[in-house]
Structure 1
Amino acid sequence: MELYMSANSPYARKVRVVTYELGLHEKVTMTETNPRDPSTGFRDVNPLGKIPALVTDSGDVLYDSPVICEYLNDVEGDGHLLSKETRERWRTCTLVALVDGVLDAGMAVRLEKMRPEHARSIAWIDKQIATASRGMDTLEKRVTEWADEVNLGTIGMACAIAWLQFRHSDHDWLSTRPQLRTWYESFNQRDSLQITMPDQTR
């Protein structure tokens, strides 16, 4: 299999962590890709021009990260990262959606700040930061529900927290959320997360 990714993409990192947790990392070729560069040909792989995208051994192309993670878990792996029990499965899928919403808001801020200063919307930035903060507040309130679990949702939580601290270090994401901070500091010690740590120099 081939995964089109960027080392500092939190969405791609989720997939990379999943490959390690499922013992599939040696079966997946990691292809570093700049989705903004049309000359790479990546848009022929994913017409949306977004990473990650996975090409399976049968030649199918899967995107985006929730779909890829579920495929790796259910088809290529042993399935232990997403419960087969209906209520637990949808609870985890909802956590995945919450975490992706936090990331989407944070990514919107990053993209806005890449615009020329005169063209930036402070109101838009504030709105997206508020959205991410509400999501983080919800995680703080509910983190004990997942404290002992390793699943697609908790993997996403750890990747989202790391990325927010990396790309939006001007905001304090954890000191006012002590339960989430304690959980993250423990969960972040997993080998899969240490191996896939973002490059702080990029």
Structure 2
Amino acid sequence: MKLYSAPASPFVRKVAVLLHETGQIDDVEMVAAGGHPLASEQMPLAHNPLGKIPALEREDGPAIYDSAVICRFLGEAHGMYPEARLYEALTLEATADGICDAAILMIYETRCRAEDQRSAEWVEAQWEKVTRSLDAIEDRWMSHLAGPLDIGQIAVACALAYIDFRHGSRDWRAERPQLTAWFEAFSARPAMQATVPQG
């Protein structure tokens, strides 16, 4: 299998962390891809018409895409989607993915738009999505994060790491001591250490 990827993508990292945690990392070849909505020529358009990464090329079927679909495909047989708390894990994954979407849109506002077209208000509206989501995790989801490893934990860790990577000047840790402590411990896992974002 081939995973079209970029090392800075939190969605690619989510897949990579899952591969490490489930012992499948050597089964998937990482293929470099890159770009953004206004420059998608280096994206795997033949495998994902949306022009987004990650996309997973399989030997026995068409490519699949969106990190949530890929992670389900690769992780369901390895306990990453536990039946007893499936919808909790999926909701936490969706929350983390939404954090990443908003954080990436903040970057695109400066990378993809001319300076006179940028909106500081729009950027802050995206950041408000992030902070509301982090507050919800701190208030509602710490018991789940403290439980057995599943996709929800992986997704949250990759989202928090991406905020640090691209928006390090914004202090998401303030007033979120439980999430801060959990992330510090989770970041020490070998799968997280092996997938630190670059670029």
TM-score range, shorter chain: over 0.9
Q: Secondary structure, in 3 states, of the residue corresponding to 1:4?
A: strand
- Distance verdict in 2 for CA 1:139–1:38, change over 3 Å: closer
- Distance verdict in 2 for CA 1:193–1:117, change over 3 Å: same
Match of 1:111 in 2: 108
**Runs of 5+ unmatched residues, structure 2:** none
Maintained 8 Å contact 1:35/1:42? no
- Distance verdict in 2 for CA 1:83–1:40, change over 3 Å: same
**Runs of 5+ unmatched residues, structure 1:** none
Q: 1:152 Cα shift?
A: 0.5
Instruction: Give the residue type in structure 2 aligned to 1:182.
Output: A
CA distance in 2, matches of 1:66, 1:41: 18
Maintained 8 Å contact 1:35/1:43? no
CA distance in 2, matches of 1:51, 1:9: 8
Q: Secondary structure, in 3 states, of the residue corresponding to 1:67?
A: helix
Match of 1:56 among 51, 55, 58: 58
- Distance verdict in 2 for CA 1:133–1:94, change over 3 Å: same
Match of 1:100 in 2: 97
Q: Give the TM-score normalised by the residue count of structure 2.
A: 0.93
CA distance in 2, matches of 1:173, 1:84: 31
Q: Secondary structure, in 3 states, of the residue corresponding to 1:50?
A: coil
Q: 1:14 Cα shift?
A: 0.2
Q: Does 1:176 align with 2:178?
A: no
CA deviation profile, 1:17-63 (whole Å, cap 9, x unmatched): 11111111000000111144554472111110000000112142111
Maintained 8 Å contact 1:13/1:159? yes
Give the total of aligned pairs.
Answer: 195
- Distance verdict in 2 for CA 1:3–1:137, change over 3 Å: same
Maintained 8 Å contact 1:2/1:54? yes
Maintained 8 Å contact 1:112/1:120? yes
CA distance in 1, matches of 2:194, 2:43: 28
CA distance in 2, matches of 1:71, 1:159: 19
